[in-house]
Structure 1
Amino acid sequence: MSIDKIEKRSREISVRVNDQELAQLKKRQQGTTMARWLRDLGLGVLPIKQADPELVRALGRIGSNLNQTAKHANINKELDQNVLKEIEVIRGLIGKLLDDNLRGTP
């Protein structure tokens, strides 16, 4: 259907929820009205979660550390205990960021 011929929405659907369900819906709602969000979900439009700016900065710092570690390994042509320890720290940071921001999010 072209943009010129968008049919006016004249049908209404009513859904009853309790207080807890409403709170959960509001918590999950992303960037638009409740009606539009629910309609998009029902019609199969997948919402795009906006990245948390602090998460992006943290990942940037981790990436910088990883680049420094890779540079060290390439220059020395070996991975010493310090490099391995740094890689473990980086893996831990990434895991924590994923746990705090992405995993378990429906």
Structure 2
Amino acid sequence: MPIIKGGKRDQEIKIRVTQSEKDQLNELKTQVSLAVWLRELGLNAKSIERADPELVRAIGRIGSNLNQIAKYVNTKKEVDVNVLSTVNRIESLLIEVINQYRNDKNAG
């Protein structure tokens, strides 16, 4: 019998699932027991950090600008130097934001 860290497991957590969900979980499990697999999955999970709301808004604005550029290009069927320059600048800014985010994550 395996050694249980932290004492005897005497607490119970109940969840409700449909038969389809239960079947799907049983297909996905990597342990003999569904309960063991779910416990290990939950206890070893990494929490998902919420994104900075200002960053989300900034990326949304960039997406909106890209949509406007795409509409312009599709209407005119050509790309002028200003449009290409703007797209290149947006790409550079996005790469900069992604790299900064990665650096912040690695530092913290």
TM-score, structure 2 length as denominator?
0.55
TM-score, structure 1 length as denominator?
0.56
CA contact (8 A) 1:69 1:83 kept: yes
Corresponding pairs, count: 70
The separation in 1 between residues aligned to 2:79 and 2:12, in whole angstroms, is 58
What is the CA distance between 1:82 and its match in structure 2?
Answer: 1.2
Could you tell me which residue of structure 2 aligns to residue 69 of structure 1?
Answer: 69
Which is bigger in relative contact order (C-alpha 8 A, separation at least 6)?
1
The separation in 2 between residues aligned to 1:51 and 1:99, in whole angstroms, is 15
**Which of the two has higher C-alpha Rg?**
2
Percent sequence identity is 47
Structure 1 runs of 4+ with >2 Å offset:
none
What is the CA distance between 1:78 and its match in structure 2?
Answer: 1.3
The separation in 1 between residues aligned to 2:12 and 2:70, in whole angstroms, is 51
Unaligned runs of 5+ in 2: 1-10, 15-39
Aligned letter for 2:13?
I
What is the CA distance between 1:58 and its match in structure 2?
Answer: 0.7
What SS is found at the alignment partner of 2:71?
helix
The separation in 2 between residues aligned to 1:80 and 1:64, in whole angstroms, is 19
The separation in 2 between residues aligned to 1:64 and 1:88, in whole angstroms, is 16
RMSD: 2.7
CA contact (8 A) 1:66 1:87 kept: yes
What is the CA distance between 1:77 and its match in structure 2?
Answer: 0.7
